Amino acid sequence: MKINKKYLITFLILFAVEVLIALFVHDKIIRPFIGDVLVIVLMYTFIRGITQKAIKGLPIYLFLFAVIVEVTQYFHLVDMLGLRDNKLLSTIMGTSFDIRDVLCYFAGTVILVAWEKIESSREKSA
């Protein structure tokens, strides 16, 4: 496994931003929306940081994963598994379905697809 320092550093910065948002931002825009857009980018940078080659379609796979997690929230999986009192797991898995979250994940996916296209065109012209 070859480490890509650029992506891992980006991951660590985004992770710190997400933690700061979760702990200290209690507004109606950044925490519920920007945080959800960034979570897709966060997962992307982590995976790209620990894999040697780009994974074709990775942003789409991450979007589908996020939607599956959101669907588990719709069906109250945390409660079915008896994890509501486990603060860490219930935070990671989420406890409430919101279609706006899916739209934020989609926005993060669009950003990543655009990023990949820009990176690809840079590599071809170099």
Give the integer Cα–Cα distance in Å for 45 and 14.
9
pLDDT score for 117: 95
pLDDT score for 92: 83
pLDDT score for 54: 85
Tell me the average pLDDT of the chain.
94
Residue bearing tokens 């929306």:
33
pLDDT score for 101: 96
Tell me the mean pLDDT in the region 1-26.
Answer: 93
Q: How far apart, in Å, are the Cα atoms of 23 and each of 90, 91, 117?
A: 15, 12, 34
Q: What is the pLDDT of residues 56-88, one digit of tens each?
A: 999 999 999 999 999 999 999 999 999 999 988
